[in-house]
């Protein structure tokens, strides 16, 4: 791929903060750790890392704890952001200019696009997903997610070569009033689908009801209340993770149950 080719995509706002993506980092380490350890050359791409390189730096630090040979490539479409990140390069971490074409010679095991596609049109998402999944190594994963400015509320979609697989909802439980607060952080493909008749709307409605039902457990802490609520919704929804992840303030649901209808 020519380094002179024009990057695919447009410049995003670039907002970023330290520790903003820590919930996603933890999930990636658990979910993809074995694949990263097996890979001959485990390359991870932090796509659209923003105006500062913190998310790529933190991703390397976290993943090196589960797969010591991981290399992270931060990819940004704004050349000035790449230049500003260069001083942070180190062994296993580089920053390059590019976009959705993902200009790295290797096929990445992971491509993370956090708070990137939310700034595009809903009709553009499918094409970007297809392009990114086409760049993956066998068994690789694309993560398309959105969070608030401090990483308190976060929702992400995991995709493989066959397309979308799961949707994960993650929250700082101590400040959560109800699960439907996460609706404000739905990725672009779902944000306009939080309306009656859509799966994601029905799931969040049922989750709120389960949360209300679990209110007596609040005296034992928000974690116990969350876990009881998740266990209740898992009776009717295809929840694909278990109590270890629920304890972290997460729940992951099969994509097919929440995918846009019609």
Tell me the CATH number at 84.
Answer: 3.40.50.150
Q: Per-residue pLDDT for the chain (262 aa), expressed as one digit of tens each?
A: 444 578 998 887 777 888 999 999 999 999 999 999 999 999 999 999 999 999 999 999 999 999 999 999 999 999 999 999 999 999 999 999 999 999 999 999 999 999 999 889 999 999 999 999 999 999 999 999 999 999 999 999 999 999 999 999 999 999 999 999 999 999 999 999 999 999 999 999 999 999 999 999 999 999 999 999 999 999 999 999 999 999 999 999 999 999 999 7
Residue 83 covered by a domain: yes
Residue 215 covered by a domain: no
Residue 194 covered by a domain: no
Yes or no: say if 155 and 193 are a contact pair by the CB < 8 Å rule.
no
pTM of whole model > 0.85? yes
Residue 17 covered by a domain: no
Residue 115 covered by a domain: yes
CA distance 192 to 125: 13
Residue 92 covered by a domain: yes
What total number of domains does the chain contain? 1
CA distance 256 to 88: 40
Domain assignment of residue 125, given as a range: 22-172+238-255
Residue 16 covered by a domain: no
Residue 222 covered by a domain: no
CA distance 228 to 221: 11
């Amino acid at each position: 791929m020519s380094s002179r080719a024009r990057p695919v995509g447009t410049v995003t706002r670039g907002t970023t903060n330290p520790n903003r993506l820590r919930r996603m980092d933890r999930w990636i380490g658990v979910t993809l750790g074995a694949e990263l350890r097996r890979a001959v050359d485990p390359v991870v791409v932090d796509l659209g890392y923003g105006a500062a390189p913190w998310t790529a730096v933190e991703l390397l630090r976290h993943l090196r704890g589960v797969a010591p040979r991981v290399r992270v490539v931060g990819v940004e479409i704004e050349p000035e952001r790449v230049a500003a990140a260069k001083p942070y390069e180190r062994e296993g971490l580089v920053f390059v200019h590019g976009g959705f074409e993902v200009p790295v010679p290797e096929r990445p095991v992971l491509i993370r696009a956090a708070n990137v596609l939310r700034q595009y049109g809903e009709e553009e998402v499918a094409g970007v997903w297809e392009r990114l999944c086409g760049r993956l190594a066998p068994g690789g994963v694309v993560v398309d997610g959105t969070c608030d400015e401090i990483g308190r509320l976060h929702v992400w979609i995991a995709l493989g070569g066959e397309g979308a697989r799961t949707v994960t909802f993650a929250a700082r439980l101590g400040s959560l009033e109800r699960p439907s607060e996460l609706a404000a952080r739905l990725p672009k493909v779902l944000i306009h689908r939080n309306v009656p008749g859509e799966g994601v709307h029905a799931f969040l409605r049922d989750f709120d009801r389960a949360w209300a039902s679990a209110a007596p457990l609040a005296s034992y802490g928000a974690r116990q209340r969350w876990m009881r609520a998740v266990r209740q919704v898992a009776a009717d929804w295809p929840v694909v993770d278990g109590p270890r992840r629920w304890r972290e303030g997460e729940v992951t649901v099969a994509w097919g149950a929440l995918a846009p209808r019609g």
